[in-house]
Chains A and B, each alone.
Chain A
Amino acid sequence: MEDVLKFFLEYKDMIFIIVLSVFLGIEVISHVPAVLHTPLMSGSNAIHGVVIIGAIIVMGHAENTLSLILGFIAVILGTLNVVGGFVVTDRMLEMFKKKKK
């Protein structure tokens, strides 16, 4: 029990962000029309590509060749997620816009 409390105190800022973000995520998309389910999934798919920042940090502080290579792969994979995700979403949404004129 004491460990749990210590853990909470040590990471309280991040735990706050996590809890508030959970509610925010639910609130932000709760009224989305079915039409937008696919683009929204695709768009949020691109947003979790933010994991690339972690890959850049690992690669930027790599201490040996192995972690440099793994980091290199991780950065490529993360970029695929980010760029592919946003471009695919834009392509989908572009079509909605075209017919609106």
Chain B
Amino acid sequence: METITKLIEFTDQISILEISYLLASILFILGLKKLSHPATARSGNLWAAAGMAAAILFTILFHQKDGQPIGNVVWIVVALAIGSFIGWYASIKVKMTAMPQMVSIFNGMGGACAALISLMEFPKMQNHLASLAEPASNMLGGEGIAILLGLMIGGVSFAGSMIAFGKLDGRIGDIKHPLLRIVNLTFLVVLLVALFLILFMKPQADHNLPIYLFAAAALIYGVTFVMPIGGADMPVVISLLNSFTGVAAAMGGFLYGNQAMLTGGILVGSSGTILTILMCNAMNRSLLNVIIGAFGVAGAAGAEAADKTVKEISLSDAAVLLSYSQKVYIVPGYGLAVAQAQHLCHELDNLLAGKGVEVKYAIHPVAGRMPGHMNVLLAEADVPYEKLVEMEDANNEMSNTDVVIVIGANDVVNPAAEDDPSSPIYGMPIIKALDAKNVIVMKRSMAAGYAAIPNNLFYHAKNRMLFGDAKATLQKLVAEIKSL
């Protein structure tokens, strides 16, 4: 009788657990769906978080393996508390400009988690296979494949994300060497061959050296994979590594027959891949081109630009020009955000609007460090959503715009993208600042942009430069306009 009640309880618990996983999967899907519409995005994020919370809670309460419930619950809760506190604190403290680095770190943590799971499951599987009455002759099978792929992809994602973080944070420079591409490819081949060799290995108890070497190789490949890719392309790399981690998580789901991990992981894997491709499309480049890296081989345009001269504009002239315009477009770039000048920019825009000038912002899809990053940064400064105009619409309005002010942006207004086939950014859609009647470029100095590509816009007859730190210059400009 007692065993029967136990059995009922057991099946009840498993049912509740599986229902919670179904609920989590539905919430992940709806969350992603809502995240892709501006009006519902925030609630979408909360829905997905709720799904996650349910999956975690019910796993701790009801997960069973061979009839054994989850043990070490106290330690699990402690680990959850530590991780939650650090994750929450870091997210609250991080500056909006450093957001891409933060996402990269969190992505790396997920990858490392997946790799660690595989590292722990492999010895268990091998010992089990070796101890069978009729020991298996190899480790080829769903379990082995899922463990090794999870380890490989998770390890690459972790190491790669850390390098991407270092690059975005300016701690690691680009290392470009033709040899690196060969090293890179060699490591990929070595990894794949090693994967098969381990699968065909005869299981021996506690023979774990191969798996440790395999893990090390995955980490090294993660480093050599990201190292030669230019810093300007890191957003694409992070998005790609994000989808890698999704696949690594899905491998864990395959291993445990866990539907929540499987759907969550694969959803991120496939949507992440599409997102990566969308980002590449915004720059009019292929993913392969980004990975192999055309950036940094700047064309001959740099040399000929050296002997051209630029025209400067004084603060008072700029103030007058802006105040008596009818329509002004601001083209913000990452430099604006780094100088923490978004709020001043918004002040300028209010001031001009008060004088009857129509002020809008032209947002390039890859302005900032990540697509959409600029929108977040301007939103932080309370710039109304309606004033942010997407590139294509802004370009249509350029011909009846009096002044375009380029603040801290460079590559996104570089005409070389349209007329210089030798330029690495040739073909990338740009904001056509030159279609407007006047252009003012605010810039610290004549140094090249993040992608180190020379910009002929600066030397154009329509353009005048306003040199100085974006924040200080905007401050003076605002004061100048007020005193008019």
Interface residues of A (CB under 8 A from B): 3, 7, 10-11, 14, 17-18, 21-26, 28-63, 67-68, 70-100
Cβ–Cβ contact B103 & A41, under 8 A: yes
Cβ–Cβ contact B268 & A75, under 8 A: no
CA of A31 to CA of B274, assembled, Å:
11
Cβ–Cβ contact A7 & B142, under 8 A: yes
Cβ–Cβ contact B110 & A76, under 8 A: no
User: What are the 9 closest A-B residue pairs judged by CB atoms, nearest first?
Assistant: A79-B83, A25-B270, A60-B70, A84-B87, A83-B87, A37-B371, A50-B264, A75-B79, A87-B91
Cβ–Cβ contact A36 & B38, under 8 A: yes
How far is the CB of B14 from the nearest CB of chain A, in Å? 14
Contacts of A28 in B (CB 8 A): 29, 32-33, 36, 267, 271
Q: Which of B102, B107, B110 has the most CB atoms of chain A within a 10 A radius of its CB? A: B110
Q: Which of B103, B141, B382 has the most CB atoms of chain A within a 10 A radius of its CB? A: B103
Cβ–Cβ contact A86 & B371, under 8 A: no
Cβ–Cβ contact B268 & A25, under 8 A: yes
Q: What 0/1 readout, one digit per residue, does chain B (363-381) give for beta carbons within 8 Å of chain A?
A: 1010000111101100110
CA of A48 to CA of B272, assembled, Å:
10
CA of A5 to CA of B54, assembled, Å:
36
Measured as residues with beta carbon below 8 angstroms from the partner, the interface class of chain B is 35 or more
Contacts of B388 in A (CB 8 A): 35
Contacts of A40 in B (CB 8 A): 32, 35-36, 41, 271, 275
Cβ–Cβ contact B256 & A18, under 8 A: no
Tell whether B287 is near chain A: CB-to-CB under 8 Å: no
User: Can you report 24 residue pairs joining A to B where beta carbons are below 8 Å apart?
Assistant: A14-B254, A25-B266, A25-B270, A29-B36, A29-B274, A35-B38, A37-B275, A37-B365, A38-B370, A41-B103, A42-B103, A43-B41, A44-B246, A51-B110, A52-B113, A55-B113, A60-B60, A75-B79, A76-B83, A77-B109, A78-B113, A80-B87, A88-B103, A96-B379
CA of A99 to CA of B382, assembled, Å:
6
Partner of B275, one of A29, A60, A68: A29
CA of A57 to CA of B64, assembled, Å:
9
How far is the CB of B421 from the nearest CB of chain A, in Å? 26
Once A and B bind, how many residue pairs between them come within 8 Å at the CB atom? 375
Tell whether B399 is near chain A: CB-to-CB under 8 Å: no
Partner of A51, one of B259, B261, B365, B383: B261
B244: nearest chain-A partner, CB-CB: A48
CA of A93 to CA of B122, assembled, Å:
40
Cβ–Cβ contact B45 & A43, under 8 A: yes
A79: nearest chain-B partner, CB-CB: B83
CA of A53 to CA of B113, assembled, Å:
10
Partner of A88, one of B99, B116, B382: B99
Q: Given A57-B63, A70-B119, A74-B113, does the pair A24, B267 have CB atoms closer than 8 Å?
A: yes
How far is the CB of A64 from the nearest CB of chain B, in Å? 10
Q: Given A14-B254, A57-B63, A70-B119, does the pair A78, B38 have CB atoms closer than 8 Å?
A: no
Cβ–Cβ contact A18 & B382, under 8 A: no
Cβ–Cβ contact B63 & A54, under 8 A: no
Contacts of B242 in A (CB 8 A): 41, 44-45, 48
Q: Which of B73, B120, B265 has the most CB atoms of chain A within a 10 A radius of its CB? A: B120
CA of A86 to CA of B33, assembled, Å:
15
Q: What 0/1 readout, one digit per residue, does chain B (98-121) give for beta carbons within 8 Å of chain A?
A: 011011011101101110110111
How far is the CB of A88 from the nearest CB of chain B, in Å? 4
B81: nearest chain-A partner, CB-CB: A79
How far is the CB of A94 from the nearest CB of chain B, in Å? 7
Q: Given A38-B376, A48-B245, A77-B109, does the pair A70, B270 have CB atoms closer than 8 Å?
A: no
A15: nearest chain-B partner, CB-CB: B254
Cβ–Cβ contact A81 & B109, under 8 A: yes
Tell whether B90 is near chain A: CB-to-CB under 8 Å: yes
Q: Which of A33, A51, A53, A77 has the most CB atoms of chain B within a 10 A radius of its CB? A: A51
Cβ–Cβ contact B265 & A50, under 8 A: yes
Tell whether B171 is near chain A: CB-to-CB under 8 Å: no
A61: nearest chain-B partner, CB-CB: B65
CA of A38 to CA of B97, assembled, Å:
12
Given A41-B370, A84-B109, 10 more pairs with CB closer than 8 A: A18-B250, A38-B373, A41-B272, A48-B242, A53-B256, A56-B70, A68-B75, A70-B116, A82-B87, A83-B87
